[in-house]
Structure 1
Amino acid sequence: MRGDCRDGASIDRRYPPIALAHSLEIPMSLTRRGALGAMLAALMAGTLSYGAAHAQAPASAPATTAERVRFATSAGNFTIEVYPEAAPKTVANFLEYVNSGFYSGTIFHRVINGFMVQGGGFDRDMKQKPTRAPIPLEAQNGLKNKAGTVAMARTGDPNSATAQFFINVVDNPSLDYPQPDGNGYAVFGKVVEGMDTVDRIKKTPTTAYGPMRNVPATPIVIESATIVK
């Protein structure tokens, strides 16, 4: 049986997708507190208000011919387009992980319908993979956490993102730059094909794994991630 997220890994809607040491890198999860967009600004503790879903407008992106990465998963395939002009360090880091085969065999370890799906850091046995050094935050790039966009998960330290990423399944303005602490979550791409796969992932039944929550009861495995032209 799988269980709760640990150390800010897969936490419930009360927490943002933060990536914590020894845990999942999750985007800050927001708690729904009556009104839309209510936020709590305590990131280090893994508490960020869970922004209620606003209208799911199409994700905006810079006009550019960008590289695409195709993910083959046990739930189906999807393709994301990345934007090096907007987030050069983030995209370079992400593509290094793709080219090295790092994502093969990792899972979507945190799934919250109405918020986001997060993966790229743990194997199917819920063991966290070692990563390279973290990268600087590039949230101040004009891209918003709209439905279908892809962003980096991190801890309360804004410059702590490594390999874990998340896909927004609704518009999440509470994750945008600037947050109350002056930071945000760095969007670096969007899903351009296979959003139906992401929709299947977000609807998967979840359970707890140790201290981690929102973990898919049946592992959703990333079989491969490949750059496509």
Structure 2
Amino acid sequence: MKYIFLIVAVLLALGGYYFINRSSGSKNIQPTVEQKDAEKINLTLATSKGDINLELYPSAAPKTVANFVKLVSSGFYNGTKFHRVIADFMIQGGDPLSKTDDPRVGSGGPGYRFEDEINPKSIGVDDVVIAQLESAGYKYNYNLKSLPVDVGALAMANSGPNTNGSQFFIVTYSPQPHLNGKHTVFGKVADGASMGMVRNIKQGDVIQSVTISQ
């Protein structure tokens, strides 16, 4: 799988606290994010609980995928922890401060920020909501094939518009439509066994390594 062309430089200032809001709902079994007719990148998160297979979609978020691949290739995520887990909602990781249990955990990143990659119309966000989000500072790319924040979605955690860095979250049980238009979804959990592993993750579990499959 070709992914070298995806690597892009993103050199902006770091800051902010990465978070998403809690919501809960019915417990589905399989990841529901779908992506058709698109090149994908396969990778595996080897965790202290077991392996989680993921798929990344460059057509949905090319810069975000490039950033993730770059960080993975440098070993950035190795030894980081899932520092935030909310039952029936999501697991969150990717903060380098979690390697040492730094009290500032939740605010760390790679040393830069980059913009969101979201096409709200492609995921059914209402025009009124889009206008409200744009007024709040969100800027959208209507040429992208965005993915919704559904079960199994792999998305960027952030502290508001255009504050992406290294932290990410995976939705565990129910779709989160209230997050559509606010978070860049750049991949999904690849299979049911991996989805089960995601649901077994507890706060403090470690990402031992991340491997990209060609």
Which structure dedicates a bigger proportion of its chain to helix?
2
Distance in structure 1 (CA, Å) of the matches to 2:99 and 2:60: 32
SS in 2 for 1:226: strand
Query: How far, CA to CA, are the matches of 1:78 and 1:93 in structure 2?
Result: 19
Within a 5 Å distance, the mapping from 1:34-73 to structure 2 comes to: 50=23, 52-53=24-25, 56=28, 58-73=32-47
Distance 1:138 1:68, change over 3 A: same
What SS does structure 1 have at the residue aligned with 2:72? helix
- Residue 108 in 1 paired to residue 90 in 2? no
Whole-Å separation in 2 of the counterparts to 1:138 and 1:130: 18
Is 1:227 the counterpart of 2:199 in the alignment?
no
RMSD over equivalenced CA pairs, Å: 2.0
1:126 corresponding residue in structure 2: 101
Displacement of 1:223 after TM fit? Answer: 0.3
Structure whose residues are more often strand by fraction? 1
TM-score by length of 2: 0.71
What are structure 1's unaligned runs of at least 5 residues? 1-19, 31-49, 178-183, 205-215
The number of residue pairs the alignment matches comes to 166
In structure 1, which of residues 82, 87, 91 is the aligned counterpart of residue 56 of structure 2? 82
The secondary structure found in structure 1 opposite 2:197 is helix
Q: Which residue of 2 aligns with 1:46?
A: none
8 Å Cα contact 2:39/2:58 also seen in 1: no
- Maintained 8 Å contact 1:62/1:86: no
Match of 2:157 in 1: 153
Residue type at the aligned position of 2:190: V
Query: How far off is 1:130 after superposition?
Result: 4.8
Choose the corresponding residue for 2:175, options 171, 174, 193: 171
Q: Which runs of 5+ in 2 are unaligned?
A: 1-13, 120-144
Which structure is higher in RCO with an 8 Å CA cutoff and minimum separation 6?
2
- Listed one character per residue, the Cα deviations across residues 29-63 of structure 1 (whole Å, up to 9, x for unaligned) are 13xxxxxxxxxxxxxxxxxxx3x426747211232
